[in-house]
Chains A and B, each alone.
Chain A
Amino acid sequence: MGDKKMAISQNVTVYIDNVAYQVSKDNNLLAGVLSQKLNLPYFCWHPSMGSVGACRQCAVTQYQDENDTRGRLVMACMTPVSDGMRIGLKENSAEKFREQVISAMMTNHPHDCPVCAEGGECHLQDMTVMTGHSSRDYQGSKRTFNNQNLGELVGHEMNRCITCYRCTRFYNDYAGGKDFGVYGSRNQVYFGRQKDGTLESEFSGNLVEVCPTGVFTNKVFSAHYTRKWDLQSAPSVCAHCSVGCNTSIGERYGSVRRVMNRYNSNINGYFLCDRGRYGIGFVNGEERIKKAKGINQQSPEQLSRLDVSKALAHFRGKRFIGIGSARASLEANVYLKKIVGEDYFSAGYSHQKMKVASVQQKLLQQAQLSGEIFSLSDIEKCDFILIIGEDITKSSPRMALSIRQACRNAGIDKAAGLGVVSWQDSAVRTISGKLNTPFFSMHTTATKLDELTEQHLLLGPDDIEQMVLVLTNAIYSLINENFNNEHEKQLSKLSTNQQLFISRLTHKLMAAEKPLVVTGDSLASVKILAAIEKLTHCLTQEKLKTKLNLVVLSAASNSFGLLSLLDKRSLSTEQVLNQLTAKEVDGIICLEQELAAFTDDELTQIREAADIVIVLDHTHSRVTDFADIVLPVAAVSEGNGHYVNYQGLVQRYNQVHSPALPILDSWKWLALIEESFESSTMATAILRKKNLEPINNLDQLHRYFEESLSDWPLANPPPNNDPVARMTTRGSGRTSQAANSSIHEPKVTQDQELLYRFSMEGNKPNTNNAMPFTWAPGWNSNESINHYQVEIDGPIINDNKNENYLYFKHSLSGLTPDGEERTENKVEPDNSPLVYFPQGSLFKGDWQSANTVEFQILTHDPDKHFTLCLSKKLAERKGWNNGQWLKIITENENIIGRLNYDENLPEHLAYGDINELANKNTGINIKLAEAINVDVVEQQNNRQRLYQQAKDSQKKVLQQLKSFDQHIPIRFVAGGLDET
């Protein structure tokens, strides 16, 4: 389907209704017609899933030559483009047939539009209008189905199905899901699960966008619903992992309603993961902080700048440690570091993690020197994959989806060899069979990608490091026989399985032209990353033609922005605690930090040692509970800022609506703090001295950084055209929605940022800025993105040309890795503790989205139970059966889990999905015992109780949201505290 970053692929001349067009010959005719922005209806074809020719909607007439006046119908999606071909698009028999197809689908389609969530952005509606079908000929009754409860996230209404097969093609073929499928035949085909239950795939939410009708809908959106045309949207970036998928967030009446995919040809393409799509729920959560704490207010209804300045002025001259955050914006982190000074800035990372960060910086710097770090679209083209120490499906799910596509490349090449193009999806899959791209993986737990590997190993971190070192030596020994002896010696210490792994891996790696290695910091292992550094260095040797394309992942949306700020003077959490207890500093300023690295005891120590604790955050945590001052911070949908993703790509998220005061962007609070700490006239002093503008928006903030910091990395943005409208042209009610509070028509909220407007007035979407939402005349659904791409599946027209990359420096160098603080236990005779590693979790893996009430419900699903995986040999020796209950004994608690045999697991390792142990990512020693019934029942009851709590919370949140709808805050300026 063409290299997305390159210019338009090979074009040939195609005559459509006797007009000549230049059409790419790499894709099918339907994609070609759509790339010309012509209207040809379709259903089953999808740019990422190719063509199957099921729906027959895209029929056009193909003529043999200029003299052929009759032609014959062909399905455009199944027809290759050839030079000089002649097509009738608006030709009578083709138009009649296309209308008949809709007419046939309508024999069973229910008249649900008024009550269907899809209405107003429904691809079926659009195609019906496009074909001109308007009156019903069919006299008979409609077949109906029973619906299923598919969980908290995706709704199911099968009567609306037009049997386009897109859902199963996405869920099963594209995303590798197993618990969903197609059943039945004739006009009773059914898409669903074998029985009711939560969809297990991390990508189930894409069914909502992939389905052209309202069969699969966003259940959360449906509960608090509004029509698409009424939504106010803004282009945003996902705040829940380091991939940085582009999103479009929609709000109405002042509350976030939903997240949709925002097409980005290099990153997420057309799909998001469920964490990105549904994780926004935390913004509406019960635990949101909406009021400041610890500040005296002159007026009880309103917090003023003066109130804050006065409160903070007390701390003028005090010394603070600033703890930045991997989930806070780049601006906020930079600002905090500036305020507290380089010597007092911390990332909230332990010393161990700082060492890891050091190696990460080095790896990233190296990777960037040899070219841009691979985007997801680059990853999808790789011909070799090695994953070291990561469960990508849970930590960075969208990347796992791309890796799944890369796994098909060997099969796609095979099909190409037989003359079958990649967009002929069924044929390519048939020819591919079980052939996969060479793929190897090593991790402490099983992962969902394991099934695609040629071989995968379950190993502890020390063994993983060892394997990487052996691999490096294996490669050296290929080019330099001096290494042979050493290599043989190392090999002999490995098991047969491991030896096989090394030899296969080496062989496939050296034969690859575009190999990918993915690793990350989830195991917090310096050794593993240092070994990988040796491996990448080895491959830069001249005799080897292979360039290793390395991707290093981290947990949060701005981990990499934060990483770029760490240098030798940055403080580890140990140092923070020391300085506080030694009274070298007076207090801490926590920026969007839940301080997960600290234990409860350590937090108590901090509280006792610190005179002042100031916290800026959006959701309650242990830290906000004991803070002296809490300042309510804008969530990703409520503010503006930049996140840096794993490639170093800096992406901007934009405010969807202006939240009720006193919620403000972190950086705005920090500006207030800076002012208050310096002097009350500081702001004016600065202004007078340097003739600086006030800082009301990001552009001004960036200019301020540029002038006052030596290493502000972002280039100035280009001058803007007219701001783009956030609302659709059919958006209703803006001037009347608050009429119950005041009948006066409010003016449009002034946006101090310069890119978007809080109304339907403004420049058309995609003139120069990222698009808030996608719509085109006659295309109300997300399929309208076709109109904004240079060509189908390619970059957006007027793509934001100044992509900003951050270039990493090894500023933490000197933090020599001097042995890990905890070495892994080797196997000892019975009764020695096992080392347990937690499996990744989609719903709990990110602190922000874990506050989403639907995720909490899913985490405490009472029909499920914790699993503990042990080596089969070990379990059998202990006399434990597969499926029996065991008690897991740790320092702090006992937990019950169900035993699962894993034949590949070494005896000294264990892994599982136990909630309480979810953050022990470097492993924890556990003891085991058989569980007694009383314990099992108690835990089940506990689980049920937590589940019920979450369910109750869900009800409450919904009630709250609906009552907020009645009292929409009117804001004239989306600005600071005194600007209402």
Chain B
Amino acid sequence: MTEAMRPLTHLVNLKSPLSLSDYMSEGGYQGASKALHEYSPKQVLDLVSDSGLKGRGGAGFPTGMKWSCVPMFDDNDDNAPEFKYLVANADEMEPGTFKDRYLLEGVPHQLVESMIIGAYTMVANRGYIFLRGEYHLAAQRLQQAIDEAYQNNWLGKNIQGTQFSFDLYVHTSAGRYICGEETALINALEGRRAIPRAKPPFPQMSGLFGKPTVVNNVETLSNLPHILKHGTAWFKALSPDSDSGTKIYAACGRVKTPGLWELPMGTTIREILYQHAGGMADGLKLRGLLPGGASTDFLLPEHLDTPMDFDSISKAGSRLGTGGLIVLDDKSCPVAMVLNLIKFFAQESCGWCTPCRDGTPWAVEVLTRIENGTGRKEDLDTLHNLCDFMWLGKTHCALAPGAVEPLKSALRYFLDDFEQHIDHGCCSYKQNTAQKTKLKGHCHG
């Protein structure tokens, strides 16, 4: 694996991540150096826009466009705010997603360098890495990397002899999924309840403590040093027919070798699943999959040749999301899978808006009865209504719409399973288990 092919992960060493000096010998901090010494903030912004980099946190929003909304001020402008903030969203809690952890634990300096570049571009003087609290090891390693950076004048005042000063902190979260939503993250950083904010105003105008703020995903940011080092042409060439750059894809479920792999953007599902993840485990067949984490729609075997990029997956009826496949085999119950996912979302609902707060547990109630065999025909209508009730525009943020994506696609693709549960009053997947023998009633295998 060369850097040119696998820029994000080629320096990953989970056992013992590179120290600052080793990281530098491997070419680290060259991107930051280039930005600070050779480019103005505007030039870096143009570079990033030109590169076509899109957010890797799930929304796929063009990074350059996000940054261009940050207000810029002349040096002696009285209106300039005292602080501008760059925040790395390291609150990785989407089920089926573990790519950021890989980067944070494996090559923490890469994120530090990325944030220096990002902060330089938006003229931010303070940064926070909002880190999922359970990632203890990452917290430790990140802080170590930050300490080293301070010692070597890569953080703090007048970085590498330039006018640019930047302070960076690690903040470990107290632990809610909703903190992955950027404005809820900002509220949590302020010490408030983790409730998303209404937009507008956007964080670039009024973010952390009401100041201009940009929140980016860890993987997104990690591309910056490489774009700076090798240029936009290289970045685009990494995946000529698709979105630019590479993507860390993952696969979990009953596959032979679950894991993660950095591949060109637009690699097909088939390649990820069969070439890298080794295909389904013995005795199992592919039933369906969620292409990008728990809050994406199901895709079927017929979609295997779809490139894993934002547009193609969207056209297929789902979302790229975080690019981590959650694979459903033919011996696992789709209803149970969806129930498991919705339970998570109901648990993690922040409780602000009515459709999510009261709709997700309602869906749990219905699915539980269906899975236990006490479902009724009307319940399917209820589930459809709930999917409609919790859709985009009706809720305060995207948690609930994400929650119903697996549900509504399961109702579309796996309707027989739902109907079977209802008609036969049991889950036919519970074969030869203690559960099945406890069930009374008529159950075919």
| B385-417 at interface with A (beta carbon < 8 Å) | 385, 389, 393-396
Interface centre among B201, B354, B385, B395 (most CB of A within 10 A): B354
CA distance A1 to B350 in the complex (A): 30
CA distance A52 to B354 in the complex (A): 13
Q: Nearest CB to that of A57 among chain B residues?
A: B354
Task: Find out whether the CB atom of B210 lies under 8 angstroms from the CB atom of A430.
Answer: yes
| B323-350 at interface with A (beta carbon < 8 Å) | 346-350
Q: Nearest CB to that of A430 among chain B residues?
A: B210
State the Cβ distance, A682 to closest chain B Cβ, in Å: 70
Task: Find out whether the CB atom of B361 lies under 8 angstroms from the CB atom of A187.
Answer: yes
Task: Find out whether the CB atom of A56 lies under 8 angstroms from the CB atom of B355.
Answer: yes
Check if B198 is an interface residue, CB within 8 A of chain A.
yes
Question: Which residues of the partner chain B approach A73 to less than 8 Å between Cβ atoms?
Answer: 393-394
State the Cβ distance, A802 to closest chain B Cβ, in Å: 44
Interface centre among B176, B210, B382, B393 (most CB of A within 10 A): B210
Check if A16 is an interface residue, CB within 8 A of chain B.
no
| A170-214 at interface with B (beta carbon < 8 Å) | 182, 184-189
Check if A424 is an interface residue, CB within 8 A of chain B.
yes
Which segment of A98-106, A226-234, A714-722, A899-907 sits at the interface? A98-106
Check if B193 is an interface residue, CB within 8 A of chain A.
yes
Q: Nearest CB to that of B364 among chain A residues?
A: A140
Given that A108-B358, A431-B206 are known contacts, is A56 also in contact with B395, CB under 8 Å in the complex?
yes
Task: Find out whether the CB atom of A53 lies under 8 angstroms from the CB atom of B361.
Answer: no
Check if A633 is an interface residue, CB within 8 A of chain B.
no
Task: Find out whether the CB atom of A55 lies under 8 angstroms from the CB atom of B353.
Answer: yes
Q: CB within 8 A of B201: which of A78, A182, A187, A420? A: A420
Given that A97-B394, A104-B358 are known contacts, is A188 also in contact with B351, CB under 8 Å in the complex?
yes
Question: Which residues of the partner chain A approach B396 to less than 8 Å between Cβ atoms?
Answer: 53-54, 56
Q: Nearest CB to that of A52 among chain B residues?
A: B198
| B199-251 at interface with A (beta carbon < 8 Å) | 200-201, 205-206, 209-210
Question: Which residues of the partner chain A approach B354 to less than 8 Å between Cβ atoms?
Answer: 54-57, 101, 104-105, 162-163
Question: Which residues of the partner chain B approach A424 to less than 8 Å between Cβ atoms?
Answer: 198
Q: CB within 8 A of A105: which of B351, B358, B366, B394? A: B358
State the Cβ distance, A131 to closest chain B Cβ, in Å: 12
Q: How many residues of A contact B (CB 8 A)?
A: 42
CA distance A764 to B201 in the complex (A): 44
Check if A426 is an interface residue, CB within 8 A of chain B.
yes
Task: Find out whether the CB atom of A187 lies under 8 angstroms from the CB atom of B210.
Answer: no
A420-432 vs B, CB cutoff 8 Å, 1 = contact: the mask equals 1000101100111
Given that A139-B365, A182-B193, A427-B197 are known contacts, is A433 also in contact with B389, CB under 8 Å in the complex?
no
CA distance A430 to B396 in the complex (A): 17
Q: How many residues of B contact A (CB 8 A)?
A: 36
Question: Which residues of the partner chain B approach A56 to less than 8 Å between Cβ atoms?
Answer: 353-355, 394-396
CA distance A138 to B357 in the complex (A): 14
B25-60 vs A, CB cutoff 8 Å, 1 = contact: the mask equals 000000000000000000000000000000000000
State the Cβ distance, B209 to closest chain A Cβ, in Å: 6
CA distance A162 to B357 in the complex (A): 10
Check if B359 is an interface residue, CB within 8 A of chain A.
yes
Task: Find out whether the CB atom of B206 lies under 8 angstroms from the CB atom of A430.
Answer: yes
CA distance A627 to B307 in the complex (A): 98
CA distance A426 to B201 in the complex (A): 10
| B150-203 at interface with A (beta carbon < 8 Å) | 176, 193, 197-198, 200-201
CA distance A101 to B385 in the complex (A): 12
Question: Which residues of the partner chain A approach B361 to less than 8 Å between Cβ atoms?
Answer: 107, 140, 186-187
Task: Find out whether the CB atom of B351 lies under 8 angstroms from the CB atom of A137.
Answer: no
Task: Find out whether the CB atom of A78 lies under 8 angstroms from the CB atom of B198.
Answer: yes
A869-891 vs B, CB cutoff 8 Å, 1 = contact: the mask equals 00000000000000000000000
State the Cβ distance, B69 to closest chain A Cβ, in Å: 13
Given that A53-B396, A186-B349 are known contacts, is A138 also in contact with B355, CB under 8 Å in the complex?
no
Check if B23 is an interface residue, CB within 8 A of chain A.
no
Given that A73-B393, A104-B359, A427-B201 are known contacts, is A185 also in contact with B206, CB under 8 Å in the complex?
no
Question: Which residues of the partner chain B approach A419 to less than 8 Å between Cβ atoms?
Answer: 201, 205
Question: Which residues of the partner chain B approach A140 to less than 8 Å between Cβ atoms?
Answer: 361-362, 365
| A46-97 at interface with B (beta carbon < 8 Å) | 52-57, 59, 72-74, 78, 97
A286-312 vs B, CB cutoff 8 Å, 1 = contact: the mask equals 000000000000000000000000000
CA distance A420 to B202 in the complex (A): 11
Check if A418 is an interface residue, CB within 8 A of chain B.
yes
Check if B369 is an interface residue, CB within 8 A of chain A.
yes
CA distance A187 to B354 in the complex (A): 9
Q: Nearest CB to that of B347 among chain A residues?
A: A186
Question: Which residues of the partner chain B approach A427 to less than 8 Å between Cβ atoms?
Answer: 197-198, 200-201, 206
Check if B352 is an interface residue, CB within 8 A of chain A.
yes
Task: Find out whether the CB atom of B350 lies under 8 angstroms from the CB atom of A187.
Answer: no
Question: Which residues of the partner chain B approach A104 to less than 8 Å between Cβ atoms?
Answer: 354-355, 357-359, 362, 389
Interface centre among A53, A185, A432 (most CB of B within 10 A): A185
The 10 A-B pairs at the shortest CB distance, nearest first, are namely A104-B358, A140-B365, A431-B210, A189-B351, A186-B349, A185-B351, A100-B389, A431-B206, A433-B210, A430-B210
Q: List 12 A-B contacts (CB under 8 A).
A: A55-B354, A101-B355, A104-B358, A104-B362, A105-B358, A184-B351, A187-B346, A418-B201, A420-B200, A424-B198, A431-B206, A432-B210
**18 further contact pairs, Cβ within 8 A, besides A56-B353, A108-B358:** A53-B396, A54-B353, A56-B395, A101-B355, A162-B354, A184-B351, A185-B349, A185-B350, A186-B349, A186-B351, A186-B360, A188-B351, A426-B198, A427-B198, A427-B201, A430-B197, A432-B210, A433-B210
